[in-house]
Amino acid sequence: MKGYWIAHVTVHDPQKYTRYTELAPAAFQQFNAILLARGGRYQQLEGGDNQRHVIIEFPSYDTALNCYHSENYQLAASFRQHIATAHITIIEGL
């Protein structure tokens, strides 16, 4: 079964956020991730609003978890943590 990241992000400092967006793709490539949705048009129908919505597909649930906990991704995340609010959920596909 495939694994998916579902992320909802609000960026507080877009200029500094670019460092995260420069580093994160290396982790995604390392774990054979496919970006299915990132940014773009959306309509918030329920719950709190966020600026960015991201869906990333991985070959498996375990691969998705391993990517998140990888050294490459944690380095990227360290640049995001104080300049953006992110809600990231990793789920197993059907």
pLDDT, tens digit, 9 for 90 and up, residues 16-44: 999 999 999 999 999 999 999 998 899 99
Which residues have a Cβ under 8 Å from the Cβ of 12 and sit 6 or more positions away? 83, 84, 85
Question: Could you give all domains of the chain from N- to C-terminal order, each with its CATH number?
Answer: 3-41+51-92 (3.30.70.100)
Q: Which residues pair with 56 in a beta bridge?
A: 5, 35
User: What is the reported pLDDT for 31?
Assistant: 98
Which residues have a Cβ under 8 Å from the Cβ of 18 and sit 6 or more positions away? none
pTM of the full predicted structure?
0.92
pLDDT, tens digit, 9 for 90 and up, residues 38-93: 988 999 999 888 999 999 999 999 999 999 999 999 999 999 999 999 999 999 99
